[in-house]
Structures are given as structure tokens and as C-alpha cells.
Amino acid sequence: MDLNPNRLWVDGCFDFTHHGHSGAILQARRLIPRDQTGELICGVHNDKDILINKGGMPVMNERERYAHTRSNRWCTRVVENAPYVTQAAVLDACGCKYVVHGDDISNDADGNDCYGPMKQLGRFRVVKRTEGVSTTDIIHRILSGSRTYTDVDAEIEDVHLDQLARYATATNGHDPWCYVFMHDFDHVTVKGRFAFDPRKTVYIEGDFDLFHVGHIEQLARLRQRHNADDTRVADGVADDGSVHVIVGITCSEDDLPCIMTLAERALGVLSCRYVDGIVLAPVAGLATSIRCLEHWRLDDPQLTLDGQFSYLNRRVVLDRVLSQRDHYVARNARKGVAS
């Protein structure tokens, strides 16, 4: 297969597949010029290779990580069981000329640069690592019980318009797609590409903390209920006949504070291909006050019934981390993070 400079490869563990991972995928996709066609192939490592090279299992298993990465709007397709050390032969088989990675160092079990062979071949491209978020940081919050914010207003102020606009882009990573509203549908923070009509909108509300593939499966079901042949997001072209999925992301409750900030949850949800817009910190009663096609609560039994990932919820994720507390405390300590 011919190597195409606009067919790029990005790989990783993608544990939690948080907005830092999504940001790396987005940055890689944006390396392809807006006026040129291209593809971004995402290679995801399996559990065994992560255990060997990181000394412990990921929080999310390989099946969950494959599905979550596949749902990313800027990912063309996923290659499962991608080698931990990036191999030219794998990229060649996919027709990818370059691998893209952040500006941080990634080593294998022997301490070797996972991208060393590709760098020597001149087939490595670098993007800036997303600051302020990592799987290590999220695990630290879970283990320590720490929270970044205790004040709702301060949490809302930390949501940056430029970040929202980038994560709201279509599959090419350049053109606008998603809407971002603040509190209600009258306050548009980021304008989407399609004509917004509440009557052609399915609205779902929840905190979407630790955004995972169980949430994504519910969003996919809402999309598929009304759009059997859904190509508009793939093409980045507005279709006034389509039903759009808008997600209301609520602030933390005092009795159940979120692990992740409102900004982190917003960026994670925006990166999902089944989402057409979000409402940040929706006012109470928004779901029932608007004339939308349907309105739902996250984890409604009708959305989780017989789901492949319906077993996943916040408690399951927390228990996975807490059950391996000693391992994660030691791993974080090696990275200079006290839990």
C-alpha cells in the first residue's frame, strides 16, 4: 500500500480516554490540511502489553478502550492490539506515512523510546501534550478524594471558549459542528454548523462524570433511534432533516461531587461522534421546559437495557481503582504524585 502523508497513525493505551487523549487525537487530525482529504488511524494497545510495559492493568479493559476510542469524532478507524512499540510495518500495512505523538516521553518495559524506530526513519510528528490532565491525575483524585473545585461559579469560569470551539469541530478537526450552550438554549457560546431546532432535538441530561463507554453506548442509542442512516457527522455537512443529540452536563452535587471538572467533562463529551451539542450547567427543569422531540436522564433503564457496556457506572470505575490502591499509589509515587 502506498504511504499517504495525510493518512496518519496515533497510538496509545487510551485508559479512561479522557479529554487529554481526545485532544491528542484532535491535534493529530488537524495536521491534515482542511482542504485535503485524509484519515487518522488510532492504534490501541491490549491489556497484556500494558501489563508488561507499565507493570499493571489499565483501569478500563481493552474491549472498553477499543470502543471508546472508536467513538471519537476525529478517529477514522481503530486498530486493536496495536504494538506497544510503534512498528513501521504496522503503519505500512495501513498506508500511514507518519505516527503522531505528544511531546512527552513514552518508554517500554526496557526503558526504550516507544517511538525511537519511527524517529530514526523520519516518520514521527509531534503535537503538544494536553496540560493539566492525565490518567495519573484522575487516579490521584480518586485515591485521595481531592477535588479541583468546590464552587460552581469558579468551575464554570474555568471553561475556556477556545478549547470548546476546538473540541466542537467536525470530523476534519477544522470546520465547526457542535453547538455549546450555557445554562439554556438562549445563550449560545459556540455556534454549530447546522440550523438548531429544539423540535428536532433529543436532549439527555446528567453529570457524565468519568465519561466512559457506558455513557457513549446510551448516546449512540439515542442517535440510532432517529437516524438509521447517519452520515452527516462523518461528512461534516448539515442536514436539516436529521435529529440532533444535545447533552446537558450538570454541575457537581454536594452529596456526590464529581471527580472531573465541568470543563473536563464537557470536552470529553464534545469529542464523541454521537453528540451534536452540549448545554453547560443547565438550569433546573430545562429538560421539561423546552419543546424537544425527547428528553432523557443519563442511565435511564430504557437506554441501558441489554447494553454491551451497561454494567459500567461510576461505582464500578471507582472500585477498580480502589481495589488496586497499592499498585496505583506506588505507580503515582514513581511519577512524583503523592496519593
Residue 9 burial (CB count, 10 A) = 26
pLDDT at 44: 98
CA dist 302 and 190 (Å) reads 31
- Nearest in space to 140 (alpha carbons), one of 316, 311, 16, 13: 16
CATH superfamily of 148-312: HUPs (3.40.50.620)
Residue-averaged pLDDT of the chain = 91
At 149, the pLDDT band (50, 70, 90 cuts) reads low
pLDDT at 136: 85
CA dist 76 and 70 (Å) reads 8
Residue 38 vs residues 25, 30, 187, 282: alpha-carbon distances, Å: 14, 10, 34, 37
Average pLDDT over residues 17-44: 95
pLDDT at 289: 86
CB 225 within 8 A of CB 283: no
The grid coordinates of residue 185 equal: 438554549
pLDDT at 236: 46
pLDDT at 17: 76
Whether the predicted pLDDT of 155 surpasses 90: no
What residue ranges do the domains of the chain occupy? 4-137, 148-312
Residue indicated by cell numbers 504511504: 3
pLDDT at 331: 78
The grid coordinates of residue 47 equal: 491489556
How does pLDDT run across 46-95, given as a tens digit for each residue? 999 999 999 999 999 999 999 999 999 999 999 999 999 999 999 999 99
Whether the predicted pLDDT of 240 surpasses 60: no
Could you give the angle at which helices 314-322 and 135-144 cross, rounded to 10 degrees?
A: 90
CA dist 48 and 296 (Å) reads 38
CA dist 78 and 66 (Å) reads 7
Whether the predicted pLDDT of 232 surpasses 60: no
Q: Is 246 helix (H, G, I), strand (E, B) or coil?
A: strand
Looking at this protein, which amino acid is placed at residue 307?
G
pLDDT at 238: 47
Could you give the angle at which helices 325-334 and 314-322 cross, rounded to 10 degrees?
A: 70
pLDDT above 90 as % of the chain: 73
pLDDT at 11: 98
At 234, the pLDDT band (50, 70, 90 cuts) reads very low
Q: Is 255 helix (H, G, I), strand (E, B) or coil?
A: coil
CB 75 within 8 A of CB 171: no
Higher per-residue pLDDT: 241 or 192? 192
Tally of helices (H runs) and strands (E runs) in the chain: 15, 11
pLDDT at 222: 96
Give 97's DSSP letter: E
Secondary structure E strands in 183-238: 188-190, 201-206
pLDDT at 151: 67
Kindly write down the DSSP assignment for every residue of 289-321, as one continuous string. HS--SEEEETT-HHHHTT-TTTT--HHHHHHHH
Average pLDDT over residues 278-287: 93
Q: Which residues pair with 245 in a beta bridge?
A: 202
Give 2's DSSP letter: -
Q: Could you tell me whether strands 188-190 and 201-206 are parallel, antiparallel, or unpaired per DSSP bridges?
A: unpaired
What's the pTM?
Answer: 0.92
The CATH number of the domain covering residues in 4-137? 3.40.50.620
How does pLDDT run across 303-315, given as a tens digit for each residue? 999 999 999 999 9
Average pLDDT over residues 180-207: 96
